[in-house]
Every structure is written in C-alpha cells, then in structure tokens.
Amino acid sequence: MLLKLEGIMSPDEVAACRALIDSGEWVDGNETSGHQSRLAKNNLQLRSGSAKERQAGEMVAAALGRTPRFVAAALPLKVFPPLFNRYGGGQAFGAHVDNAIRQVQGTEFRIRSDLSCTLFLTEPEDYDGGELVIEDLYGEQRVKLRAGDMVLYPASSLHHVTPVTRGERISSFFWLQSMVRDHGEREQLYRLDCSIQTLSAERGGQDPVVLELTNLYHNLLRRWADT
C-alpha cells in the first residue's frame, strides 16, 4: 500500500525545521548507505548523529505522533530516527531496495524495515525533477508532494529518485517496523479502521454496526500484531 499523507507538518513547522537543518553540516549521502545503495546514491545528507539532526528529527517525530492517519496506516512499533537528505545539480538516487534491517550507528537500536517514509520539505515548484518513483504491481508510482506532506510505502519496493535539474529537493526520510509485519494484513486493518471512523461519524460510536466492526478490528489486530 502506497499512502500519501497531507499536512504532516504545517508551513510554520516546515520553516522551523528547514531553518535548523539548512544551517547544519551536510556530507556525502553514502555515509549511511548499504553496499547496494552506495552504487546508486548521489546526494547530500545532514551529518548523522549531529545535534541539529536530532533536533529536527524530534520535530518530525512529534508531527507524526499528532497524525492519527499515520498511526492507523503504519501501526508503528519502532521508528528509525528521521534522517535528512538534499538533492541538487543533477544529483539522483538510482534504483534500489532499502536494507531489510536498519541499525543506528554506535547503538543497539535496530529495526526490521517494513515501511519507508519520505517527508517533503521543499515545495514542488521550487525544483525540477526529484520525483520519488516507486514500483509496485500496478506499475510506476511517481511522487512529488507539497512541503509538509509525506508518502508511506513498503520498504520492499524497488524505487529511485530522478535527477534534480533545477533548485534543490530537501526531505526527511526514515523507516519503521510495524506491529503487523504482513503488508496485506496491515492494509486490511487500515481500510477497516477508516470505515469504522466514517460510520462512527455518521451513526455515533455506540451504533451496533460500529461496535461490531470495532470488535472485529481489535480481534484481528490481536491476532496479527507483535508488540
């Protein structure tokens, strides 16, 4: 399931995040790459482990926590600390698949990467190119969102970023381990949750159908989730 989430961060939050990271130290993006990604990657990345990366990452994490649709779709168990990248001057990221296991350097924190996330921090009219192209069963999905919007997609997907030929594309990217490993099960839970919320708004939370569907949702989550 590929999901576009609008308004994860407000314009003011985007501006505050950009002011913080724009003044940080940017290094070769391969600082945190695996072997396969190193062959395809050409971009810059905010210095890993720096104070500004941590502060900006906390801003992103706080915004995610205020977004019920993100929680419903991802069912996050563990979230990798957000990273930040920058593309310009023809830089791109060729076709690759994200590593199955991600570990924070110098720590024991690691996750199974079930979902990949890209939070856009540059308005699309400010740069040419820079589309995130994700391959799925329905073909290529090309993603270029407003600043503050995010795309959530399976980390198992083959994907790439097209060359940025004008301006700069700045984003936050990270991965998460979901409580529900299986993508199909997670999608069914998300669709069921959305239907429950719609019916609850129309009929009220104590409606018998809403209660029955809520019971079904939690029993499926109980069966499928790891905590």
Q: Check pLDDT > 60 for residue 207.
A: yes
Count the residues in the chain: 227
Give residue 128's domain range: 3-178
Q: Is residue 217 pLDDT above 90, yes or no?
A: yes
CATH number of the domain where residue 197 is located: 4.10.860
Residues 24-38 have pLDDT tens digits of 999 998 866 555 556
**Same-domain check for residues 103 and 58:** yes
| Nearest in space to 137 (alpha carbons), one of 120, 157, 151 | 157
Q: Are residues 211 and 125 in the same domain?
A: no
Q: How many CB atoms lie within 10 A of CB 190?
A: 18
201 and 89 co-located in one domain: no
| Residue 33, pLDDT score | 57
Residue 13's pLDDT is what?
98
Residue-wise pLDDT tens digits, 164-189: 999 999 999 999 999 999 999 999 99
216 and 151 part of one domain = no
Token code pair at residue 123:
């308005």
Same-domain check for residues 66 and 28:
yes
Q: What is the CATH number of the domain that holds 8?
A: 2.60.120.620
Average pLDDT for the chain? 95
My answer on whether 128 and 196 are in the same domain is no
Is residue 159 within 8 A of residue 115, CB to CB? The reply is: no
Residue 136 assigned ligand-binding role: no
Are residues 67 and 49 both part of a single domain? Answer: yes
Q: Is the pLDDT of residue 199 over 90?
A: yes
The pLDDT score that the predictor gives to residue 34 is 57
Task: Give percent helix, percent strand, percent coil of the chain, each to the nearest 5.
Answer: 35, 35, 30
| 79 shares its domain with 64 | yes
Closest alpha carbon to 138 in 2, 37, 9: 2
127 & 67 share domain:
yes
Q: Write down the residue that tokens 């990366």 correspond to.
A: 53
35 is in an annotated binding site: no
How does pLDDT run across 33-54, given as a tens digit for each residue?
555 556 689 999 999 999 999 9
Say whether 169 counts as a known binding-site residue. yes
pLDDT digits (tens, 9 = 90+) for 108-154: 999 999 999 999 999 999 999 999 999 987 789 999 999 999 999 99
Please write the tens of the pLDDT for every residue from 58-108. 999 999 999 999 999 999 999 999 999 999 999 999 999 999 999 998 899
User: Would the annotation count 149 as a binding residue?
Assistant: no
Q: Residue 108: count other Cβ atoms within 10 Å of its Cβ.
A: 6
Strand extents, DSSP E, 64-124: 76-79, 83-88, 92-96, 101-103, 110-112, 115-120
- Domain total in the chain: 2
Extract the tokens encoding 41.
Answer: 């990657």
- At residue 86, what are phi and psi to the nearest 5 degrees? -140, 130
Q: Are residues 73 and 167 in the same domain?
A: yes
Q: Look at residue 198 and tell me whether its pLDDT is greater than 70.
A: yes
